[in-house]
Amino acid sequence: MTYTVGMYLADRLVQIGLKHHFAVAGDYNLVLLDQLLLNKGMEQIYCCNELNCGFSAEGYARSNGAAAAVVTFSVGAISAMNAIGGAYAENLPVILISGAPNSNDHGTGHILHHTTGKTDYGYQLEMARQVTCAAESITDAQSAPAKIDHVIRTALRERKPAYLEIACNISSEPCVQPGPVCSLLAEPEIDQTSLKAAVDATVAFLEKSTKPVMLVGSKLRAANALAETETLADKLQCAVTIMAAAKGFFPEDHAGFRGLYWGEVSTPGAQELVETADALLCIAPVFNDYSTVGWSAWPKGPNVILAEPDRVTVDGRAYDGFTLRAFLRALAEKAPARPASAQKGSVPTFSLPATSDEAGLTNDEIVRHINALLTSNTTLVAETGDSWFNAMRMTLPRGARVELEMQWGHIGWSVPSSFGNAWALRIASMW
């Protein structure tokens, strides 16, 4: 059998760990979908519309690390772009793959169905560039491998969605086969000089402090540094607080865990801890209007150490050229023990009013009953709106996961995202 562009794409998706891709068919991607189906390493999960398809891939990426959604041109892809904007906001590498007009149609003045009626078909690529970290249009088989690899590599490195459109006559064109995957998955190179300087400056800063506090933010999972953060907490022995969008990103049974910091709506004691810390180590935070409670709870100033996915700012100096994961790992080796901030009090929670057999179906009762159902295997997906606040009131057993979409905040996201997430967890439970 001739090896084709579609087969190349399928092999690459399987190589980066996809066991499924999400799809809605249309004239522009029919041949591509058939090519993808030839690969037995990956199942096609069919969706009822493209917005759901995009959100299913978004949910899959939450548990699997990456995902793909395959849609038809314009009438499909433009619907999916809302979910891709969400994946951008939430730092999830979802590859949006759209079928596209026949390469022979370009420049003919042909008006094609499903398009806006323009005879220049480049508008979708232009739109996609605004919500992805890399976007390519494939109109010939020869350049397909480089474009596919560029898009996938960039998405994995940046933890952002990326976009590919493939002319409908090109998916079944002959193509070279891909090499091994390690080149796509390789960890970025680390500037050891900069890393050492950042770690030394942070250690010096922490050594001068008596009651540092850690604040865990929502970009931590995308930075692949959940375990490293816990190891650092073990070493520092200080109080650890989480931001709302990072619920579940730090184990709540950890000796240092001291609750949710959300300004005025923090769990009891957490606001005072964070706002009186003489060193506040903010790890992968997103400070937006929600998380700062309308800019009233935005940690800033000389006490703040800002450890972001691509840079660390401490004591008036910025360091880059290494990953957050590498920084936290190196910091944990040298960090001093600073237990003072964690010594006072028990782990705080939002209190619920006493229940009774006659209690009605109130928010309090819903929180109580759902919380009682949570186990270390649960993934709790909290829909945009009131559910966010209910999720914050839950106490999580170790291992329980919470999914939130607090940056994008699309109502209706939770059902398709849960669907995709469940497919990914099905793989994990089969391993």
Ligand X SMILES: Cc1ncc(C[n+]2csc(CCOP(=O)(O)OP(=O)(O)O)c2C)c(N)n1
State which residue has the least CB distance to ligand X. 385
CB of 407 to ligand X, least distance (A): 12
CB of 387 to ligand X, least distance (A): 6
Residues 387 and 401: their CA atoms lie apart, in Å, by 15
Residues 263 and 254: their CA atoms lie apart, in Å, by 22
**Closer CB to ligand X, residue 51 or residue 95?**
51
**Closer CB to ligand X, residue 174 or residue 294?**
294
Binding segment for ligand X among 64-72, 136-144, 290-298, 408-416 (CB under 6 A)? 408-416
CB of 384 to ligand X, least distance (A): 5
CB of 69 to ligand X, least distance (A): 18
**Closer CB to ligand X, residue 263 or residue 409?**
409
Residues 47 and 417: their CA atoms lie apart, in Å, by 12
Site for ligand X in 347-406 (CB under 6 A): 384-387
Q: β-strands 257-260, 239-242: how paired?
A: parallel
**Closer CB to ligand X, residue 345 or residue 385?**
385
Phi and psi (nearest 5°) for 123? -65, -35
x/- map, 248-287, ligand X, by CB under 6 A: ----------------------------------------
Q: β-strands 257-260, 162-167: how paired?
A: unpaired
Q: Encoding tokens for residue 369?
A: 């009953």
Enumerate residues 6+ apart whose C-beta is below 8 A from 142. Answer: none
CB of 63 to ligand X, least distance (A): 23
Residues 302 and 311: their CA atoms lie apart, in Å, by 17
CB of 413 to ligand X, least distance (A): 8
Q: How many residues bind ligand X (CB under 6 A)?
A: 7
**Closer CB to ligand X, residue 184 or residue 366?**
366
169 contacts ligand X (rule: CB under 6 A): no
115 and 83 Cβ atoms separated by less than 8 Å: no
**Closer CB to ligand X, residue 231 or residue 387?**
387
Q: Please pick, from the candidates 143, 231, 409, 422, the single residue that binds ligand X as defined by CB under 6 A.
A: 409
Q: Please pick, from the candidates 354, 372, 411, 428, the single residue that binds ligand X as defined by CB under 6 A.
A: 411
The conformational region for residue 269 under phi > 0 = left, psi -120 to 50 = alpha, else beta, is left
**Closer CB to ligand X, residue 308 or residue 403?**
403
CB of 225 to ligand X, least distance (A): 29
CB of 249 to ligand X, least distance (A): 23
Strand, helix or coil for residue 26 = coil
**Closer CB to ligand X, residue 119 or residue 387?**
387
CB of 161 to ligand X, least distance (A): 18
**Closer CB to ligand X, residue 231 or residue 384?**
384
End-to-end CA distance of the chain: 32
Phi and psi (nearest 5°) for 266? -70, 165
Report the 3 state secondary structure along 284-345.
CCCCCCCCCCCCCCCCCCCCEEEEECCEEEECCEEEECCCHHHHHHHHHHHCCCCHHHHCCC
379 and 221 Cβ atoms separated by less than 8 Å: no
CA angle 187, 45, 161 (to 5 degrees): 35
CB of 408 to ligand X, least distance (A): 9
In the structure, how many helices (H) and strands (E) does the chain have?
14, 15
CB of 369 to ligand X, least distance (A): 17
Best CA proximity match to 23, nearest among 63, 67, 66, 64 = 67
**Closer CB to ligand X, residue 321 or residue 409?**
409
The conformational region for residue 321 under phi > 0 = left, psi -120 to 50 = alpha, else beta, is left
Enumerate residues 6+ apart whose C-beta is below 8 A from 344. Answer: none
**Closer CB to ligand X, residue 228 or residue 405?**
405
The amino acid present at 405, given as its one-letter code, is E
Q: Please pick, from the candidates 21, 62, 247, 410, the single residue that binds ligand X as defined by CB under 6 A.
A: 410
Name the CA radius of gyration of the chain, rounded.
Answer: 24
Binding residues for ligand X, rule: CB under 6 A, are 384-387, 409-411
